[in-house]
Amino acid sequence: MLSWFSLLFRAALIMTGFIIAGHLSRNAFARLTVRDETRRDIWMLLDRAAYAGLLGFGAVCALGTAGFNVTALIAGLGLTGFALGFALKDALANAVAGVMILLHRPFVTGDHIAVAGFEGRVAGTDLHHTTLEAEGKRHLVPNATVLNSPVTVTLAATANTDQPSRL
């Protein structure tokens, strides 16, 4: 009986360590978000991914320490991830394209762009779509389309002409 209690205690310690590490990573990303407000969306995405990854890995490590056979669990998670990736390939393509657009910043809010038959002022870019506004209409263009299509950018007018060009 003592060995079972000992295994559970070690598993709880491991899980507690991963929970603490998850909170530390959240605090680090919160500081990065405050410092770099222009890439806030990227930092928030990485924050969520790191936190979920740490908790998931911690749960698997804790279960393995407690004496459970996690081989089938890991294989099942791999197959589930493959099936979800295949089922959500378009949504994932838009999310990855959104990350690339947010990282590379080929255009920013306020620029006038033309892409895939749509034209307008960029109102915002998130992980799923780029929002264009023109003539009282709002166009939500999927990020995969924006990334894979030629884009014509007319830079937004800047109030201060002493600023260097973004290009």
In contact, 77 and 138? CB cutoff 8 Å = no
| Inter-CA distances, 23 with 29, 34, 47, Å | 10, 17, 10
Tell me what pLDDT residue 108 has. Answer: 86
Tell me what pLDDT residue 23 has. Answer: 96
Tokens representing residue 50 in the block:
């790191």
Domains 2-87 and 105-154 fall in the same CATH topology:
no
The separation between the first and the last C-alpha atoms of the chain, rounded to the nearest angstrom, is 68
Does residue 159 surpass a pLDDT of 50?
no
Average pLDDT, the chain: 87
> What is the band of 164 on the pLDDT scale with cuts at 50, 70, 90?
very low
CATH code for the structural domain at 105-154: 2.30.30.60
Does residue 6 surpass a pLDDT of 80?
yes
Secondary structure of the chain in HEC code, one letter for each residue: CHHHHHHHHHHHHHHHHHHHHHHHHHHHHHHHHHHCHHHHHHHHHHHHHHHHHHHHHHHHHHHHHCCCCCHHHHHHHHHHHHHHHHHCHHHHHHHHHHHHHHHHCCCCCCCEEEECCEEEEEEEECCCEEEEEECCEEEEEEHHHHHHCCEEEECCCCCCCCCCCCC
Per-residue pLDDT reduced to its tens digit, 119-156: 999 998 888 899 999 999 999 999 999 999 999 998 76
Tell me what pLDDT residue 156 has. Answer: 65
Tell me what pLDDT residue 77 has. Answer: 86
Tell me what pLDDT residue 162 has. Answer: 47
* Residues in Cβ contact with 1 at an 8 Å cutoff, skipping those fewer than 6 apart: none
Domain boundaries, the chain: 2-87, 105-154
Mean pLDDT of 31-52: 85
At the topology level of CATH, where does 2-87 sit? Answer: Helix Hairpins (1.10.287)
Tell me what pLDDT residue 167 has. Answer: 47
Tell me what pLDDT residue 157 has. Answer: 61
The amino acid sitting at 58 is G
